[in-house]
Each structure stands twice: as structure tokens, then as C-alpha cells.
Amino acid sequence: MRSPFWLRHILGALAAVLLLLPPCAGHAAEAYKPAFRTLGEALTEPPLRLDINVWYPGTRQPRELRYTPWTLYAARNGRPAEGRFPLLLLSHATPGTRFSYHDTAARLAARGFVVAAPAHAHDSMHNMDDLFTWPQLENRTKELSATIRILLEDKELAACIDPGRIGVLGFGTGATAALLLGGALPDCAPWSGYCARAGAGDAYCDPWVREKIDAMCAAFPLGRSPADPRIRAVAAVAPGYGMLFGPTSFRHFYPPLLLVVAGAEKLDRAELHAGSIARVPGLKATVLELPQADTGALMAPCPPRIASELPELCLSVTPETRAALAHRLDGALAEFFLRHLGSSAHVPVIPAPPDLTPPAPKAPAPAAPARPQKRRARHHRAPS
């Protein structure tokens, strides 16, 4: 039964008001004011400039900040609050940018986290050169690990980060990279039967994409784990590439895992990706299901310019649904990371990555020395 018009009108107006408030409004558990700054550094491996958005706990009142076309709510370059806080790496989805989850990042900063969102230069809304290749995932893991180093070397931010409490939060392909940083090892075991289950209309079963996935799978097994043992907790929101992870892929995965299943996702369909990962035998994960969510619904509201260019991404759900999803997801993320990183006493110990160096081939056994042949004695006949 549909709600009465007057009730729908009131609920819609209330949701609209909530969306206009700064990200930290209305959250009683938020003890800090979100502050914001940017960092940048040239990397040699992979060779690129890494630009990073950083939200952190501050004390100054947040205000409107414009980074065209985005509008954020934070205190620009505000002084960090006293104390040391957990660090969360935030890896955006392929159609996103380092600004796409600014509201979630600000709310986590208000709850006592430093949140660092690097730009994935070749896997974003602006450039998808690495799409459907192993470098798409490998470069993300390198960029995220480099982000840890950059923040811990920053004179001002390092003082407010506890290097023993680091987690990673990834969306879409960023969630897949987060799993790799946590110790997952791709083996492509499910790929051979993927298209039979998914159907010809699945994006990964397009001939061009299948060729790229085949090439990616040819690189496995890896000779070196991309795991970073500094990562103590992983939140993977709607991960893609579910066909890369088979029954033994998580045998060296040690951090606590929050796995979020986006039920309305169209590219990385839940039953074939996040759901498939959740069903891997032996994987221990807290699973959160969001039936109405897709990639765009989990992002911050798009600026008008981006919304007009990408309506299928930006307008996939109503403002009311987006606000409800953000409330549920952000609450689950804060609860998960506070449980595992909120106190040094509860941080899990993560072993070093496994040695994946293939064993050296056995040297061939030395050939047995040739047995000397017996010479047959010659009998000379006496001359007659």
C-alpha cells in the first residue's frame, strides 16, 4: 500500500534537509570536527604523481570547501586534534575519484580516523587505461601502500597517526585491491565456468573483455604476494573480479574483513562477485547486505555537472534512498573499524606475506659413469 501523499511529502522534505546539512551533522557519536588537506608526491613505481585527499580529526568548525566541481564540508588545513588515530586508506571505485566518497570520509574523520584517499590515475572516471588488466589491481595496491609511507613521513600528519592501527576501505575495484592488500591471492579457479553461469549479456563475457581476463589469468599464480602486513582490518564494499578468487585464495588472508554486498550492482553482480567471495570456504567475514545499493548509490551525491554527464551513475537511486544507504553503510564502517582499530589492545597481529617464490627446479641426477667395455683378446693364428 502506498503511503499517503502528505506523509511522502514530509519524508521527502526531511530527507532533502538532511542532505543539505554538513556531513557531520546529526551524529551524536562524532567527537571531532573533520579537517581536510591534500598531499602529492611523484612515485617511481608505478611512475606517476600520486595525489591524496586526507580527512582527519580536527577541532575547527567545518565549512564549505570548493574543489571544482566538488563541494566538501571540512576545515581546510585545520590543526589535528590531540592524540594518535587509526589510519584508513580509501580506494575509490573505477567510475569514481578521490572526491567521490568525501561525505563518508568526513564522517569517519569525525569519529576519530585519519582517512587518506589517493587518486588512481589510470583507473578512475577520468582515465581507464588499466581497465580489465592486472596492472589495474597491482598498481592500486602499490599506490595504497605508498600512501601509508607518504602520510607517515608527513611532518604534521604523522604525529596524529598510530602506525600500528591501519586499515583499508575499498569500493568496487578498490575493494578487490583491498582484498589483495589483506593477503588474498588470485588464482582464477572460477573463471572457466563464469560465463556459463553469468550468461552472454554479462560485461565480463564480452569477447574483448574475456580476452583481457584470459591474459590476466595467465599471470597467475603470482610470484610475490601484494599483501601489506601493516593492514590490520579490511572493508571491501561491492568488490569486483569475483572470478579471480577460488577455494584457496584466502588461505593467507588474516585481517578482520567486512564484506558489503550491493544487491543492485549491474556490472559486478552481487551473486557472481561479492556473493561469490562471501561463499569461499573458510573465509571469515562480517557480511553486510544492501539490496538497493549499486556503485553510484554508495558515492556522495554528484555535483550537477557530473550528474548531467553521467545520470546512470549519479541518479541511480532517489536522494532518500542514497541518504538511507549512507547512514547504514557509514554506521557499519565506523563500528567495524572502531572494534578492530579503536584500541591498540584489540589490533590483530598480521603475519608476514608468504614466500611465493617457486621452488628451484631439481638438478638432473648425474649420469652414471660409463662402464668400461671389456676388450676381447685377439687370437693370432700361427703361420702355416
pTM: 0.87
Q: Please, which contacts does 189-196 make with residues 24 or more away whose CB atoms are closer than 8 Å?
A: 189/245, 189/246, 189/247, 189/248, 189/249, 190/242, 190/243, 190/244, 190/245, 190/246, 190/276, 191/217, 191/243, 191/244, 194/243, 194/272
Cell of 136: 589495474
Task: Using the structure block, give the residue that is written with the C-alpha cell 557519536.
Answer: 29
148: in domain = yes
Contacts of 86 (CB under 8 A, 6+ apart): 112, 113, 114, 161, 162, 165, 166, 167, 337, 341, 342
362: in domain = no
- Which among 166, 160, 173 is positioned nearest to 145, based on CA atoms? 166
Region for residue 355 given its phi and psi (left: phi exceeds 0; alpha: psi -120 to 50; beta: otherwise): beta
pLDDT in tens, the chain (384 residues): 333 433 333 334 333 333 333 333 334 467 899 999 999 999 888 888 999 999 999 999 999 999 999 999 999 999 999 999 999 999 999 999 999 999 999 999 999 999 999 999 999 999 999 999 999 999 999 999 999 999 999 999 999 999 999 999 999 999 999 999 999 999 999 999 999 999 999 999 999 999 999 999 999 999 999 999 999 999 999 999 999 999 999 999 999 999 999 999 999 999 999 999 999 998 999 999 999 999 999 999 999 999 999 999 999 999 999 999 999 999 999 999 999 999 988 899 999 999 998 877 777 777 777 666 666 655 555 555
108: in domain = yes
311: in domain = yes
CA distance 139 to 130: 9
Domain limits at 261? 32-187+224-346
Written as one string, the DSSP assignment of 329-372 is: HHHHHHHHHHHHHSSGGGPPP-PPPP--PPPPPPPPPPPPPPPP
Distance of CA 135 to the CA centre of its chain: 14
136: in domain = yes
357: in domain = no
Strands, sheet with 286-290, edge to edge from the N-terminal-most edge strand:
63-67, 70-76, 33-44, 47-58, 114-118, 85-91, 161-171, 231-237, 257-262, 286-290
99: in domain = yes
Total domains in the chain come to 1
Measured between alpha carbons, how far apart are the two ends of the chain, in Å? 131
352: in domain = no
> CATH number, domain at 99?
3.40.50.1820
Q: In the beta sheet, which residues pair with residue 257?
A: 234
